[in-house]
Homo-oligomer: A and B are copies of this chain.
Amino acid sequence: MSLPRKHLFSIPEGVIYLDGNSLGVLPAAARERAAQVIGDEWGQQLIRAWNTADWMSLPQRVGDRIAGLIGAPKGSVATGDTLSIKVFQALAAALDMRPDRKVVLSDNGNFPTDLYMAQGLARLIDKGHEIRTPAPEDVPDAIDDSVAVVMLTHVDYRTGRLHDMAAITRAAHDAGAVMIWDLAHSAGALPLDIAGSQAEFAVGCTYKYLNGGPGAPAFIYARPDIVEDLAPALCGWMGHDAPFAMELGYRPAMSTERLRVGTPPIIQLSILDTALDVWDGVSMEELRQASIGLSELFIAEVEKRCPGLRLASPRDPAARGSQVSFAFDQGYAAMQALIERGVIGDFRAPDIMRFGFTPLYLDKADVRAAADHIEAVISQEIWRDPKYQVKSRVT
C-alpha cells in the first residue's frame, strides 16, 4: 500500500492538518479499540484482564512495535510515563555511568522540558553538574572530555533542524561521553537506526508522528549491552524482576523492563497499540521521500506567494526533519487566522509559524490548498483582524 493512507485516519471535514508534529490525528480504528478495552476488558473482565486480555505484556508488546520504527531490536524499548520522566531516567542512568565527569551537554534549541528535567536532576544529586546549552550548530565543537553525557533532541522543535545522529554519537563516544537522543520529533517521521548509532539511550513520545492520542505514553530505549549494569533512578515495582513477589527490596528486571516504573496506563497504551497498526508495511525511506516532497513543495509555494515570511528551517531537506517553520512578526495572529480557515499549524514564541508534514495522511493537493490560504491571510492582511490578536490560546 502506498502513501498517503488517509482512509486509515479520521480527519475532520474541511481541515488541512499541519500539526501532526504536535498532536497526530485519530487513527480510524482507535475508537473501536478504546470501546473494547473499556467496555469488554475493563468492564467485563475486570481485574482478570491482566491475564485474560494480557494487559501484563502490553507495555512490552507496544515497545517492540516502537522498536521496529526506530531501528532498535525487540526487547530494547520500554513504554509508559511521560517523555519528561523518560529523559530523567536516561540522564540519571547516564550520569551514573560517568561519575567522574560533571558536564551535561545539550543545546539551546532543545525542548525546554528536557533541560528542566536535567536541571532538577542536577540539583537533586547535588554533585556540581553543569548543563551546557550552546547553539545547536556549535554542539560538535563543544564535545570534549569534560562531558559526561550528550543529550540532544534529534529534530529541533522550533526550526526542524536535524542533528547528525551518527556523527554526533561517534564524537560523543570518542570523547568518552554517553549519548542520549530524544526522538520526540523523529519517531515516525524519519528512518532511524538507533542500534546502528551505538547511542546508549533514546527516548521519545508517541502522540506526535505515532498518533497515539493526547498524553499517550512515552518510550525509552537502552542499548542492550548496557542494560544489566544500568542503575534505575526510578525504581518502580513494574521494573522489578518479580513484581508480584512483593519483596521489600528492589531487584531490577534483567532487561529494559527495569526502566518501567508504575502501573501502566492500559487504556492509552491500547489505543497506541492500535495507532501503530497504520505503520504495517510502511517503508520509512518512502515516507521520508514523501515528506521531503511535501515540505519542498510547501517552501516553494509559500516563498513564491509570501515574500514577507522568512524560512526559519534549514533549506537543505537533508538537514531538516518533517516540519517547516516560517518566521513572521505577526505569526501568532496569522496562525489564528489560518486555524479559523481550517489550516492547522501552530505558533511558537516569539515569531515562529510551524507546519508539520505527515505523509501518512497528507498529499500535495493539501499542501497547495494550505499555501492558498496562507497567501490569502498574508497578502490580504487578514491577520490584522483584532480577533486574531487576542492571545487566548495556550498551545
Contacts and interface: CB of A to CB of B under 8 A. Distances in A.
Interface of A: 10, 12, 15, 17, 19, 22-23, 25-26, 30-31, 34-35, 38-39, 41-44, 46-51, 55-56, 80-85, 88, 92, 108, 111-113, 115-117, 119-121, 123-127, 133, 205, 207, 213-218, 231-238, 240, 244-250, 261-269, 271, 339, 344, 346, 348-349, 392-395
A215 B10 contact: no
Nearest to A123: B231
Contact of A46 (B17, B42, B43, B85): B17
A267 B266 contact: no
Contact of A269 (B113, B215, B395): B215
A26 B36 CA distance: 13
A124 B244 CA distance: 25
Contacts of A115: 248-250
A262 B83 contact: yes
Q: Count chain B CB atoms within 10 A of each CB in A116, A233, A240, A348 and give the residue with the most.
A: A116
Contact of A271 (B19, B51, B245, B267): B267
Contact of A42 (B213, B237, B267): B213
B34 A263 contact: no
A108 B246 CA distance: 11
20 contacts: A22-B47, A25-B46, A26-B39, A26-B42, A31-B39, A35-B35, A38-B271, A42-B214, A51-B393, A81-B82, A84-B263, A85-B234, A85-B261, A85-B262, A116-B236, A207-B263, A214-B267, A215-B264, A245-B349, A265-B265
Contact of A119 (B39, B51, B250, B268): B250
A23 B53 CA distance: 15
Please list the 9 inter-chain residue pairs (A to B) with the smallest Cβ-Cβ separation, ordered nearest first. A82-B262, A120-B235, A84-B262, A214-B266, A113-B237, A215-B265, A84-B236, A26-B43, A116-B250
A22 B46 CA distance: 10
Contacts of A266: 213-215
A95 B31 CA distance: 44
A232 B119 CA distance: 10
Nearest to A393: B51
Contact of A244 (B126, B133, B394): B394
A187 B259 CA distance: 28
A115 B127 CA distance: 24
